[in-house]
Amino acid sequence: MNVISDKLQVEGNRWIGTRTVRPDGADKVTGRAAYAADNTMPGMIWGKVLRSPHAHAVIRSVDTSKAEALPGVKAVVTARDIVDFPVDKSVMLGIQDMRWMCRNVMAREKALFHGHPIAAVAAINEEVAAEACRLIEVDYEVLPHVIEIEDAIRPDAPILHDFLKHEGKPSNIAGTMTAKLGDVEAGFAEADVIVERTFRTRPVHQGYIEPQACTVSYAADGRATIWSSSQGQFMVRAMTSLLTGVPQSNIKAIPAEIGGGFGAKTIIYLEPLALLLSKKSGRPVKMVMTREEVMRATGPTSGSFSTVRIGAKKDGTIVAAQGTFYIQAGCLPGGPLRGPVGCAFAPYEIPNVLSVGFDVVSNRSKVAAYRAPGAPLGAYAAECVLDEVAEKLGMDPLELRLKNSAKPGSKAAYGATFGKVTFEETVEAIRTHEHYKAPLERNPRPGVRRGRGVASGFWYNAGGESSAQVNITEDGNVLVTTGHPDVGGSRASIANVTAELLGIEHGRVSVQIGDTSSIGFSNLTGGSRVTFASAMVVTQSTEKVITQLRERAAKIWKIDPEAVTWENGEARPAGPNAGQFPPLTLKELAAKANEMGGPIGAGVQLNTQGADPGFATHVVDVEVDVDLGIVRVLRYTAAQDVGRALHPSYVEGQIQGGVVQGIGWALSEEYLYDRQGRLDNAGFLDYRMPVCSDVPMIEPVMLEIPNPKHPQGVRGVGEAPIVPPLAAIANAVYDALGKRFYSLPMSPPKVLEALEE
């Protein structure tokens, strides 16, 4: 379903808003697309990582002599080879602190989780490399470990880092974040109804299909080339440079096709190790993680332990909201506090808000970004409490949301004063949707109960740095280069925009992703920013190209460039006064490019602004098998303000994908550890992501309310859809069973146990 509110930006469009064939589609369905692990080079050798078998241990010594002596071994690296960033001085790259990154890619003083890299080996093949890893002798002093948040914040918990202090004492609380508005206690004093609940969620993995992989070739002249799969080749270059000491100008990072990232590939694990192994061995080095390594050692997102309290007046006016969010960081600081602290109450205009987050370290792999990092954790707690508030007030849960929705000029606790706010529209879209109004058969069969739930969500969205180059080829076609790995169909959207602006056939536009040496700096593919930002720089580049084309035509016709217009892929005299000339097509102008001034092309590099936030409201029907405790999702409808859907298929895909990940989070995904602190389900069999048959067709309702700050009206869409599902499903399960669950996942044993209480 597609609701378009502003005809102005739609009428007359030939390509924008249409479902063109994606530029990378044929390669992907025929198996030709080259992912990171597909790269090979002459003389290439294989790198492997030795990982800690302990959850927490002092590394007394690492003896690599036997490994180095094994025939076929070409290089060994340890923490000594990685640039050390002392713990007392922060060095930031974006949101990543190099003090923690250098300790994450290779354990330094201590092994902090089961799977923490201890050393890396390069050898003539994978088997020899694996054998060499077994020959490395590590002297560990095993320490008591701590896994769960509630254990980690106890006064007697094993402390991971002596240098981290909270309230003056060594602590596993690495930092806090507060968002405040008004006086929350005064607000609660006015409330007629107050609901306070405590919630728990488990860490969940991004679950991308493609494991981390790279090939790095360090040449004799000190220049390195990196082929890897990431959400940002410039991030790969910068972080590898910082961790190895090789200057950025000497590193070329080439982005491979990416087999999913969902935030996780905004940091690196292997590239610095492979570079150092290549430097030592003089050979190109390839490293590919196994699925088990991915699960054990790459970031999931945080688990959480949260308390939310909301107070409202009898008429439904929310007067105060308070949230306390303990968020897992993994073994090193840096949990996504900004997600729950800033987003939990952001859809609502609430005069008094106090939202506090705590960053808690424990002996787990360091968390990485995951789609709207942290926001689902806050929304889960806040939106479940809102459901209870609505119930106590005897109000429809969507009416309660509408009554309190943020409006233009509303101030959010995280600091923003909203401009255009489109939250109400998402609530209204669900409230009036056939799904919400359809009768629900509550007991279709013996032992089966059904329920319906709703929830909303907010995500900041982002702009930031992007670069583009638009070149006209000698034969009059178009090549667009951007600096963003394409995780969600961004090339397809960019092709639509460029063909639209130039007024030419879609098939004449090729879109490619440049490496770090062929396009200007472009920030990560993340924050729901790429289509927003790259459409902006591509638009400006294309407009410059059109200006050049008009100038060339003017030169040929010997008239003023102002007297030339560009229409339907041709230069034409602007009016009868401009003179009588037959139109000049793009092909004709390209053929005359050199004689009329040289190659035609333009690039733009910008720090893009104006990415307004995203809002979403979802409704879900669930069915519970009360004898087995299994919850199945029967029907799901997700409404979201998408700004402008440049390519509707990939906007729908973003919404559907986010919802499915939310379903897994709510019902089945969790990290399980044994008593020694070892991950017990490091694979897709027992780490239960939903499979196709577990989920219904998710119906996206795209509300096309153009973002006035963007040339095509684009608004980021990738992250908001994972924010509401946790609470929407929990609320639906309550509706089915009359029992509220305050911890995720709502797995069958947990549901059955609760039903028997």
Partner 1 sequence: MTDIRYLAPRSLEEAVSAFAAAQGAARILAGGTDLLVQMRNGVVKPGLIVDIKKIAEMTEIAETPEGGFRIGAAISGATLAEHPRFGKAWPGVLEAINLIGSKQVQGRASPGGNLCNGSPAGDSVPAMIAAGAVVTVQGPNGRRQMPVEAVPAGPGRTHLAPGEIVVSFTLPPRPAGSGDAYLRMIPRTEMDIAVVGCGVSLTLQGGTVTAARVGLGAVAPTVLLVEDAARALIGSRLEEEALEAAAAACRAACRPINDKRGTIAYRIKVAGVLLKRTAAIAAQRAGGN
x/- map, 289-318, partner 1, by CB under 8 A: ---x--------------------------
Question: In the window 103-132, what residues touch partner 1 (CB under 8 A)?
Answer: 127-128, 131
DSSP letter string, 253-266? EEEPB-S--TTGGG
**CA atoms of 198 and 634, how far apart (whole Å):** 28
Helices assigned H by DSSP within 207-334: 233-244, 271-281, 291-297
Angle at 486 between CA 485 and CA 489, to 5 degrees: 170
- Taking the least distance from each CB to partner 1, the nearer of 221 and 756 is 756
Regarding 6 and contact with partner 1 (CB under 8 A), the answer is no
C-beta closer to partner 1: residue 187 or 664? 664
Q: Is the peptide bond before 745 cis (omega within 30 degrees of 0)?
A: yes
Q: Which is nearer to partner 1, 505 or 627 (CB)?
A: 627
Q: How far apart (Å, rounded) are the C-alpha atoms in residues 152 and 161?
A: 12
Helix, strand, coil content of the chain in percent (nearest 5): 30, 25, 40
Smallest separation (angstroms) from partner 1 to the CB of 178:
37
Binding span for partner 1 by CB under 8 A among 262-270, 343-351, 622-630, 706-714: 622-630
Give the residue, chosen from 528, 542, 617, 668, that forms a contact with partner 1 under the rule CB under 8 A.
Answer: 668
Cβ proximity to partner 1, 8 vs 692, nearer residue: 692
Confirm or reject binding of residue 681 to partner 1 (CB under 8 A): yes
Reduce the DSSP state of residue 11 to 3 states and report it. Answer: coil
Residues binding partner 1: number (CB under 8 A): 27
Q: Which is nearer to partner 1, 72 or 561 (CB)?
A: 72
Q: Are 473 and 509 in contact (CB under 8 A)?
A: no
Q: Please give the single-letter amino acid code of residue 442.
A: R
Smallest separation (angstroms) from partner 1 to the CB of 686: 5
Which among 354-362, 396-404, 616-624, 746-754 is the span making contact with partner 1, rule CB under 8 A?
Answer: 746-754
Do 640 and 703 meet the contact criterion of CB atoms below 8 Å apart? yes
Shortest Å distance, C-beta 317 to partner 1: 41
Is the CB of 578 or the CB of 752 nearer to partner 1? 752
26 binds partner 1 (CB under 8 A): no
Establish if 691 lies at the interface with partner 1 (CB under 8 A): yes
- Strand partners of residue 620: 453, 636
Asked whether 214 and 227 are in contact (CB, 8 A), the reply is yes
672 touches partner 1 (CB under 8 A): yes
What is the sign of the dihedral through the CA atoms of 11, 12, 17 and 19? positive
In the complex, the smallest distance separating the C-beta of residue 751 from partner 1, rounded to whole angstroms, is 10
* Gap between the Cα atoms of 446 and 449, Å rounded: 8
Of 8 and 685, nearer to partner 1 (C-beta) is: 685
Under rule CB under 8 A, residue 66 binds partner 1: no
- Smallest gap from Cβ 202 to partner 1, in A, equals 13
Binders in 623-642 for partner 1, by CB under 8 A? 627-630, 632
Closest listed residue to residue 469, CA positions, set 609, 584, 356, 603: 603
Least Å distance between CB 674 and partner 1?
9
Q: How far is the CB of 10 from partner 1 (least distance, A)?
A: 40
Reduce the DSSP state of residue 362 to 3 states and report it: coil
Does residue 53 belong to the site contacting partner 1 (CB under 8 A)?
no
Binding mask 574-613 for partner 1 (x = CB under 8 A): ----------------------------------------
The Cα 106–Cα 400 span in angstroms is: 50
Considering only residues 464-523, where is the footprint of partner 1 by CB under 8 A? none
Q: Which is nearer to partner 1, 166 or 750 (CB)?
A: 750
In the list 197, 433, 435, 688, the residue contacting partner 1 (rule: CB under 8 A) is 688
CB of 447 to partner 1, least distance (A): 9
Which residue lies nearer to partner 1 by CB, 588 or 625?
A: 625
Residue nearer to partner 1 on the CB measure, 41 or 752: 752
Looking from the CA of 438 toward its CB, the CA atoms found within 13 Å total: 16
Question: What SS3 class is residue 126?
Answer: helix
Tell me the closest approach of the beta carbon of residue 682 to partner 1, in angstroms.
10
Residue among 4, 93, 416, 752 that touches partner 1 (CB under 8 A): 752
* Residue 622 beta carbon to partner 1: minimum distance, rounded to whole angstroms: 14
- Please tell me whether residue 31 binds partner 1 under the rule CB under 8 A: no
Minimum CB distance to partner 1, residue 37 (Å): 16
* Token pair for 630: 């299994």
In this complex, which beta carbon is closest to partner 1, that of residue 492 or of residue 682?
682
- Among candidate residues 229, 225, 208, the one with its CA nearest the CA of residue 36: 229
Q: Look up residue 399 and give its two tokens.
A: 């009416």
> Looking only at residues 260 through 279 of this chain, which bind partner 1 when binding is defined by CB under 8 A?
none
Q: CA dist 493 to 508, 614, 712, 722, Å?
A: 14, 19, 11, 22
Per-residue tokens: 593: 């490019």
Q: Which of 249, 686, 708, 739 binds partner 1 (CB under 8 A)?
A: 686
- Taking the complex as a whole, the smallest distance from the CB of residue 259 to partner 1 amounts, in Å, to 18
Question: According to the binding rule CB under 8 A, does residue 69 interact with partner 1?
Answer: no
Residue 470 in contact with residue 506, Cβ under 8 Å?
A: no
Q: Give the shortest CB-628-to-partner 1 separation in angstroms.
A: 6
CA dist list (Å): 313 to 354, 394, 427? 18, 12, 21
| From 485-493, 507-515, 558-566, 742-750, span contacting partner 1 (CB under 8 A) | 742-750
**Nearest distance from C-beta of residue 376 to partner 1, angstroms:** 20
Q: DSSP per residue over 321-350, as a string?
A: EEEEEEEEEESSS---THHHHHHTTTTB--
Is residue 677 involved in binding partner 1 (CB under 8 A)? no
Least CB distance from residue 627 to partner 1, whole Å? 4
Cβ–Cβ < 8 Å for 334, 366: yes
Binding flag, residue 661, partner 1 (CB under 8 A): no
CB of 504 to partner 1, least distance (A): 43
Told to check if 676 binds partner 1 by CB under 8 A, we report no
CA distances (Å), origin 436, targets 478, 493, 664, 752: 46, 32, 23, 28
CB within 8 Å of 143: residues ≥ 6 apart: 56, 57, 58, 110, 158
154 contact partners, CB below 8 Å, separation of at least 6: none
Three-state secondary structure string covering 670-715: CCCECCCCCECCCCCCCCCCCCHHHCCCEEEEEEECCCCCCCCCCC
- Indicate whether 753 belongs to the interface with partner 1 (CB under 8 A): yes
Q: Does 446 bind partner 1 (CB under 8 A)?
A: no
- In this structure, the number of other CB atoms found within 10 A of the CB of residue 112 comes to 29
What is the C-alpha separation between 393 and 130, in angstroms, rounded? Answer: 63
β pairing state of 169-170 and 251-255: unpaired
Query: Which residues of the chain form contacts with partner 1 (CB under 8 A)?
Result: 127-128, 131, 292, 627-630, 632, 667-668, 672, 680-681, 685-686, 688, 690-691, 693-694, 747-749, 752-753, 756
